[in-house]
Structure 1
Amino acid sequence: MPKMTGGKAVVESLKQEGVEFVFGVPGVQIMHIFDAFFGEPEIRLLTVRHEQSTIYMADGYARVKGKPGVGLVVPGPGVQNASAALGTAYACSSPVLLIAGQVESYNLGQDKGVLHEINDQLDIIRPVTKWCQRVMSVTDIPGAIHEAMHQMNTGRPRPTEIEIPWDVVGTTAEVTLMSRGAFPRAGPHREEVFRAAHLLLSAQRPFIWAGGGAILSDASVELVELAEALGAPVATTPEGKGAISEDHPLSLGGAYYGFGAASWATPKADVILAVGTRLTWQMRPGTAPKAPQKLIHLDADPVVLGKNFPVEVAMVADAKTALKALVEEIRRKKSPKNVREPWPQAELREFREKHRRWLEEKAPLQHDIILTLRKELRDDAILIAGVTNIGYWCNLAYPVRGPRTFLTPSYFATLGYAFPTALGAKVAAPDRPVICVVGDGGFMYACAELETAVRYGIHLITLVFTDNAFGSTKSDQQINFQGRILGTDLNNPDFAKLAELFGAKGMKADPGQLGKALREALEANQPVVIEVPIPTLTPPFQIHTMPT
Structure 2
Amino acid sequence: MKLGEAIAEIMRREGVDILCGYPVNHLIEFAAARDIRPIMVRQERIGLHMADAISRVTSGRKIGAFCMQHGPGSENAYGGVAQAYGESVPVLVVPQGYPRRLAHIDPNFNSSEAMRHVVKSAEPVVLAAEIGNIMRRAFTRLRNGRGGPVLVEVPTDLWNEEVGEVDYAPVMATRYSPDPAEVKRAARMLAEARRPVIYAGTGIHWARAWDQLARLSALLAAPVATSLGGKSAFNEEHPLSLGCGGVAISAPLRHFLDRADVIIGLGCSFTETNFGVKMPQGPRIIHATLDPMHLNKDVRAEIGLIGDAALTLEALLAELEPLVGSPRDPAPAAAEIQQVREPWLAQWMPKLTSPDAPLNPYRVLWDLQHTVDRDNVIITHDAGSPRDQISPFWKSTTPLSYLGWGKTTQLGYGLGLAMGAKLAAPEKLCINVWGDAAIGFTGMDFETAVRERIPIMSVLLNNFSMAIELKVMPISTEKYRSTDISGDYAAMARAFGGHGERVTDPAEIVPAIRRGIEKTRAGIPVLLEFITSKETAVSRL
- TM-score between the two structures when normalised by the length of structure 2: 0.92
- The residue matched to 1:441 in structure 2 has which SS? coil
| CA deviation after TM superposition for structure 1 residue 73, in Å | 0.3
1:377–1:203: structure 2 CA closer, same or farther, 3 Å change rule?
A: same
State the one-letter code of the partner of 1:57. Answer: M
CA distance in 2, matches of 1:283, 1:202: 33
Aligned mates of 1:413, 1:517 — CA distance in 2: 29
Residues 452, 482 of structure 1: alpha-carbon distance in 2 compared, 3 angstrom cutoff: closer
Match of 1:506 in 2: 500
Q: Give the structure 1 partner of residue 404 of structure 2.
A: 408
SS of residue in 2 equivalent to 1:298: strand
Deviation at 1:358, TM superposition (A): 4.1
Q: Which of 463, 467, 470 does residue 471 from structure 1 map onto?
A: 467
Tell me what 1:345 maps to. 334
RMSD: 2.3
Q: Name the CA distance, whole Å, in 1 between partners of 2:229 and 2:535.
A: 23
Matched, 1:88 2:79: no
Alignment of 1:68-87 (within 5 A): 68-87=63-82
* 1:220-253 per-position Cα deviation (integer Å, ceiling 9, x unaligned): 1110000101110001111111010001111111
**Percent of pairs with identical residues:** 27
Give distance in 2, aligned partners of 1:256 and 1:155. Answer: 25
Amino acid at match of 2:3: G
Is the Cα contact below 8 Å between 1:205 and 1:343 reproduced in 2? no
2:103 equivalent in structure 1: 108
1:323/1:465 Cα in 2 relative to 1: closer, same or farther (>3 Å)? same
Question: Helix, strand or coil for the counterpart of 2:464?
Answer: coil
Q: Encode CA deviations 1:172-212: one digit per residue, 9 max, x unaligned.
A: 22143321122121111101110000000011111100111
The 1:485–1:147 alpha-carbon spacing in structure 2 relative to 1, beyond 3 Å, is: farther
Alignment of 1:310-459 (within 5 A): 310-335=300-325, 339=328, 343-360=332-349, 365-378=360-373, 379-459=375-455
Which residue of structure 2 aligns with residue 17 of structure 1? 14
Q: Mark the CA change 1:318 to 1:474 in structure 2 (over 3 Å): closer, same or farther.
A: same
How far off is 1:312 after superposition?
1.0
Q: Residue 107 and residue 509 in structure 1: after superposition, are their counterparts in 2 closer, same or farther (change >3 A)?
A: same
Q: 1:286 to 1:275 in 2, by over 3 A?
A: closer
Mapped partners of 1:128, 1:7: distance in 2 = 25
Letter in 1 for 2:342: E
**Tell me, what secondary structure is at the counterpart of 1:377?**
coil
Q: Given that residues 374 and 398 in structure 1 are in contact (C-alpha distance below 8 angstroms), is that contact kept between their aligned partners in structure 2?
A: yes
Which secondary structure does the structure 1 equivalent of 2:461 belong to?
Answer: strand
- Alignment check: 8 A CA contact 1:369 1:511 kept: no
| 8 Å Cα contact 1:186-1:321 kept in structure 2 | yes
Instruction: Name the residue aligned to 1:6.
Output: 3
> What secondary structure is seen at the aligned counterpart in 2 of 1:382?
strand
SS of residue matched to 1:444: helix
Describe the SS at the equivalent of 1:413. Answer: coil
Structure 2 gaps, min length 5: 355-359
Number of residue pairs matched? Answer: 527
Letter aligned with residue 540 of structure 1? V
How far the C-alpha of 1:269 sits from its partner, in A, is 1.1
1:240-319 equivalences in 2 (<5 Å):
240-257=230-247, 259-260=249-250, 261-282=252-273, 288-291=279-282, 293-319=283-309
Q: Residues 300 and 487 of structure 1: is their aligned pair in 2 closer, same or farther, counting only changes over 3 Å?
A: farther
Q: Does 1:173 align with 2:167?
A: no
Query: Do the aligned partners of 2:9 and 2:34 also contact (CA within 8 Å) in 1?
Result: no
Tell me by how many angstroms 1:464 deviates.
1.4
1:38 positional shift: 4.1
2:216 to 217, 223, 226: 226
Classify the secondary structure of the residue corresponding to 1:508: strand
Q: Give, in angstroms, the shift of residue 90 of structure 1.
A: 1.2
Residues 527 and 126 of structure 1, relative CA distance in 2, 3 Å threshold = same
Q: CA deviation at 1:78?
A: 1.1
> Separation in 2 of the partners of 1:168 and 1:143?
16
Alignment partners' CA distance in 2, 1:228 and 1:511: 44
Partner of 2:357: none
Contact persistence 1:17–1:146 (CA under 8 A): no
Inter-CA distance 359–125: structure 2 relative to 1 (3 Å threshold): farther
Distance in 2 (CA, whole Å) between partners of 1:284 and 1:24 is 30
Structure 1 pair 339–443 and aligned structure 2 pair: CA distance change class (3 A): closer
> Within the alignment, does 1:519 sit opposite 2:514 as a pair?
yes
Residue 287 of structure 1 deviates from its aligned partner by 5.0
Moved more, 506-515 or 356-365: 356-365
**CA offsets per residue over residues 94-134 of structure 1, 9 Å max, x none?**
111110111111222234x7xxx32x432321121111111
TM-score by length of 1: 0.91
Q: Which residue of 2 aligns with 1:60?
A: 53
Q: Following TM superposition, by how much is the alpha carbon of 1:25 offset from its aligned partner in structure 2, in angstroms?
A: 0.6
1:99-248 aligned at under 5 Å gives the runs 99-111=94-106, 117-118=108-109, 120-248=110-238
SS at structure 2 position matched to 1:127: helix
